Structure 1
Amino acid sequence: MKQQVFDCSVRAKAETDRALNETYQALIQRIRTHYSGDRALADQYLLHLRASQRAWVALRDTNYALEAFEIENGSQAHETTVDGCVIHMSHNRTRYLEQLSPAW
């Protein structure tokens, strides 16, 4: 049973990461399309987006380290806990990025 839970968390994390990356790339494309007439403004918007994403990744990594702190590093329990945190945070970030759009 433990192996099944671990395998499921690995798959779910990969799927959530894929969805987040696709959403992030789609947002970049929406920004470029929306600001196609003003490249400087598009670049400024993208600069903020990238800074936000880097800060979010740092927060995510700090949170999963905190959540899995008392679990033996490298164990399946540790990895499953880390995966669960990443899944939860990535899902929420994906929803946020889906709702974020340049002013139409």
Structure 2
Amino acid sequence: MLGPILLAAMQFIPNATTCADSGNLPQQMMNACAAWDFEQADAELNATWPVVLDYVRTHLSEEFAWDERPSGEERLRAAQRAWITLRDEHCGVWAYHMRGGTAEPLLFHACKTRMTRERIEELRALMIEDQ
């Protein structure tokens, strides 16, 4: 027979309502909410990316083709690849505060969420014209 907490965890679906007060949830559910929160931030990043990329292609690539340096698009793509590696590795280390514990996934996903939201703002800041 399954205990009530395990049964609740099996039926738990993370969303804005179920995760609204995740601090009062059992650890497995808090971990699920942290992973869900990261998925939301990552979806926002993925929606922001093509808009920023289009802006960089239009405003920061073509007019400088004469100087033989990488285009704005090439540099942005390289920066994004490097940033993803940095985020994932940094958050992996950050999660070691609870290495091997049940809260390790919570720290990992919370870190990735924070860094992803910060990155969204950094990318949006690139689209400011005539600074």
TM-based fold match above 0.5: yes
Higher relative contact order (CA 8 A, sep 6+): 1
Q: Are the counterparts in 2 of residues 23 and 94 from structure 1 also a CA contact under 8 Å?
A: yes
Amino acid corresponding to residue 52 of structure 1 in structure 2: A
TM-score (norm 1): 0.80
Amino acid corresponding to residue 82 of structure 1 in structure 2: F
- Structure 1: 5+ residue runs without aligned partners? none
Task: Select 2:107's aligned residue among 81, 84, 88.
Answer: 81
What secondary structure is seen at the aligned counterpart in 1 of 2:71?
Answer: helix
Give 1:35 deviation, angstroms: 6.3
TM-score (norm 2): 0.65
Say yes or no: does 1:30 pair with 2:55. Answer: yes
Give the fraction of aligned pairs with identical amino acids, expressed as a percent: 27
More helix by share: 1
- Structure 2: 5+ residue runs without aligned partners? 1-24
Number of corresponding residues: 100
Give 1:32 deviation, angstroms: 3.0
